[in-house]
Amino acid sequence: MADTDCIFCKIIAGEISSFKLYEDDRTYAMMDINPFNDGHCLVITKAHAVNLLDADGADLAAVLPTAQKIARALQAALEPEGINIIQANGPAAGQTVLHYHSHIFPRRLTDGAMMNWGHAPGDMARIEEVYNKIMAELASAV
């Protein structure tokens, strides 16, 4: 189901143009018009879902093969030193369009992109406490 106010739904419906790379029954891939760097692409679900938590499992299962297809084309076309696939959920995670999408972008060692956390040893007691909370939710979801 489409959301009439969603820019990605409008792109899928053909109401707004895009640089479409690929389309199948469940996914749509296009160039990002606000790219981090050359080759920055998006893979979106055709069915409107706000984010990962809202998306249908079959739609999510279709995203990864499409992302692989686009990543292989990026690798061959641009020969980057790496490729990131990033998916954000909610404004605090950097999601600006509330329609499920994954970013795929080629990387260079000198491109200046940084992951937004430092890698430092965690408090094992706190990790276990959070682990137990997540496990309890998983057990109740069965």
Residues labelled catalytic: 101
Burial (Cβ within 10 Å: 0-12, 13-18, ≥19) of residue 79: exposed
Burial (Cβ within 10 Å: 0-12, 13-18, ≥19) of residue 32: middle
Q: From CA 74, how far away is CA 66, in angstroms rounded?
A: 12
In the numeric block, the tokens 């970013």 are attached to 103
Q: Please, what is the Cα angle at 53 between 133 and 92, to 5 degrees?
A: 80
